[in-house]
Structure 1
Amino acid sequence: MKAMILAAGLGTRMRPLTDHCPKPLLEVAGRPLIVHHLDRLRAAGITEVVINVSYRAQQIIAALGDGSAHGVSIAWSREEAPLETGGGIHQALSLLGDAPFLLVNGDIWCDLDPSRLPDLGDDLAHLVLVDNPDHHPGGDFHLDAQGRVRESGEPRLTFTGFSVIDPALVAGESPGAFPLAPLLRRAMAEDRIGGTHHRGAWIDVGTPQRLAELDRRLRQ
C-alpha cells in the first residue's frame, strides 16, 4: 500500500510560526512533524509515499528530498495553489495508482499502527475516528455497531485525518480545487464507508498551543 501525506495547506491557524516555515517542518520533540509520519509509515511497512505541497513547497522538498534518509521513497505532487483535499488527491492519482492508499493529514499526530487497518473490500473509504476532543465537542460522524460510518446518529466521533481511500472516490471528479467531505458523505449514503474507533493517542496539531502540548507530551 502507498500513503499520501497532505502537506499543501497554508498553515494560517499556526501563524506566526508558519510565516517563514511550512507547517509540516515545524518541530515536535526535535524533529519536523512530517518526519514523525514518515517514521510511523516506515515502521508499518509503507515505504512509497506521495506528498502534495504548495505553500513554501521548496522548503519541504529540500528538507526531505527523495525520502531515502528516512527509509521511504517520496513522490512529490506540486500544486500552484492549494487544491483542498479532494483536488489534491485527484491531481496525485497518477502517482498513487489504482489501489487503495493510506491518506494522512500532515497536521495531526497519532499513535495508530496503519498496518492494522482492514482492507476496503467494496467500500470507497475507511475512516479512523476518535472520541471528541475539547476543541471539537460536536464530532463529525457516527460509527454504528456494524462498523459503518454515518453522517448522522449518536454518539458522534471525530475524524482523525487518517483514512484508507479508494482512488475511485475522486477519480470521476473534474480537476481543480474541491473538498473531500461531500464525496465521503455521498459514499456514506450509499453505505460504502467503514470505520475504526481508535482509542489511543491523537492530537490535531492545528494551533501553536497544541503544537507545544504535543512537544511536551513526546519529550516526557
Structure 2
Amino acid sequence: MSKSNLIPCFLLAAGRGERMRPLTDTLPKPLLSIQNKSLLVWHLEALAKANIQEVVINHAWLGEKIEAAIGNGKQFGLHIQYSPEGKALETAGGICKALPIIAPEDYFLVINGDVFSPDLPIDRLLEAASKMRMDPSKPLAHLLMVPNPTQHPEGDFYLQSSMIANTGSAGTEKLTFSGIGIYHKDLFKDLEFGAPAKLAPLLRTAMEQKKVSGEKYLGPWHDVGTPQRLQELNAAYE
C-alpha cells in the first residue's frame, strides 16, 4: 500500500455500552476482550498491519481507562491521539468534534470500537478511498455493508451495484451497515461543533445526492452487543 493511499483513522469508543452491563460498569465496552485481546487492540493491530499510522480515538464513559490501556500507540507502531467527550456526542457529533485532531486532507476511515472483525479489509477500504479521491463527483461516503445479523434482521440500507440507497427497487438487497466506512470531511461541515448529532441523517441526505457508495463484506463481522454474544465469540475463536 503506497503512502499516498494512506488516510487517518478514527475509532469510535465513547458509547456507554448499556446492553453490556454489568461488564461495562467498570470497563469501557471497547476494552472488553476476545481471546485476551481487547476489541480496540484487534482494530489497532489491523491498522498497523495496513500501514495506517495516524489514529484518533474518542471516549466518554471511563475514557481514562482507554488512554491508560492504549497509551500513545507506540507499542503498535501507531501515533494515537484522543478526543475526550464530557458526554457522548453520538457518532456524527463525535466525528465533528474530533475532526481538528484527525485533520484529514479529504477522506478518513471510521471504525466502531465495539465491532469485532478479525480480518478487517482495510486494504480494500484504502483502495476505495483512492477511487473516491479520483472521482470528480466527490463522493461523501463509502460504507462496508454486511449480511443482516439475527439481532438486526431488517437491515439498514440498500446496495444497488456499488451505490447505497435509502430505498430499494427490484433486485436490490437490504444490508446492515457494519459501522466501518470511509467519509469525506465535508459530510460533517454543517454540524455544530461539540453538539450531539447522529450519523444516519447525514448519510441519508448524501444518499439522495447519490454520493454514497458501498460494498458487501462476507468476511467475519460481529456486533458485540451483549455479554452472551461476547461469551459466544470467545468460545468460537478459541
Given residue 169 of structure 1, which amino acid in structure 2 is its aligned partner? L
Q: CA deviation at 1:113?
A: 1.7
87, 96, 104: which one aligns with 1:90: 96
Q: CA deviation at 1:71?
A: 1.8
Q: CA deviation at 1:87?
A: 0.5
What residue is the counterpart of 1:77 in the other structure? 83
Residue 68 in 1 paired to residue 74 in 2?
Answer: yes
Q: CA deviation at 1:218?
A: 2.0
Residue 162 in 1 paired to residue 177 in 2?
Answer: no
Q: What does the per-residue CA deviation read over 1:126-165, in whole Å, with 9 as the maximum and x for residues that have no partner? A: 00001111111100000002x0000111420000011001
154, 157, 161: which one aligns with 1:138: 154
What residue is the counterpart of 2:124 in the other structure? 116
Given residue 161 of structure 1, which amino acid in structure 2 is its aligned partner? G
Equivalent residues in 2 for 1:4-153, closer than 5 Å? 4-97=10-103, 98-110=105-117, 111-117=119-125, 118-119=128-129, 120=132, 121=135, 122-145=138-161, 147-153=162-168
Unaligned runs of 5+ in 2: 1-6
Task: Provide the rounded CA distance (Å) in 2 between the counterparts of 1:168 and 1:10.
Answer: 28
Q: CA deviation at 1:207?
A: 0.8
Q: CA RMSD in A?
A: 1.0
What residue is the counterpart of 2:4 in the other structure? none
For the residue of structure 2 that corresponds to 1:196, the secondary structure is: strand
Given residue 123 of structure 1, which amino acid in structure 2 is its aligned partner? P
Task: Provide the rounded CA distance (Å) in 2 between the counterparts of 1:190 and 1:71.
Answer: 39
For the residue of structure 2 that corresponds to 1:158, the secondary structure is: strand
Task: Provide the rounded CA distance (Å) in 2 between the counterparts of 1:99 and 1:44.
Answer: 19
What residue is the counterpart of 2:198 in the other structure? 179
What TM-score do the two structures reach when normalised by structure 2?
Answer: 0.89
Q: CA deviation at 1:36?
A: 0.4
Task: Provide the rounded CA distance (Å) in 2 between the counterparts of 1:151 and 1:136.
Answer: 16
Task: Provide the rounded CA distance (Å) in 2 between the counterparts of 1:134 and 1:213.
Answer: 14
Task: Provide the rounded CA distance (Å) in 2 between the counterparts of 1:6 and 1:152.
Answer: 27
Task: Provide the rounded CA distance (Å) in 1 between the counterparts of 2:196 and 2:35.
Answer: 34
What residue is the counterpart of 1:193 in the other structure? 212
Q: CA deviation at 1:99?
A: 2.2
Q: What does the per-residue CA deviation read over 1:183-203, in whole Å, with 9 as the maximum and x for residues that have no partner? A: 000000000000010011110
For the residue of structure 1 that corresponds to 2:206, the secondary structure is: helix
Contact 1:45 1:115 in 2 (8 A): no
What residue is the counterpart of 2:3 in the other structure? none
What TM-score do the two structures reach when normalised by structure 1?
Answer: 0.96
Task: Provide the rounded CA distance (Å) in 2 between the counterparts of 1:66 and 1:194.
Answer: 33
Q: CA deviation at 1:217?
A: 2.2
User: What is the identity percentage for the equivalent residue pairs of Structure 1 and Structure 2?
Assistant: 44
Task: Provide the rounded CA distance (Å) in 2 between the counterparts of 1:177 and 1:151.
Answer: 23
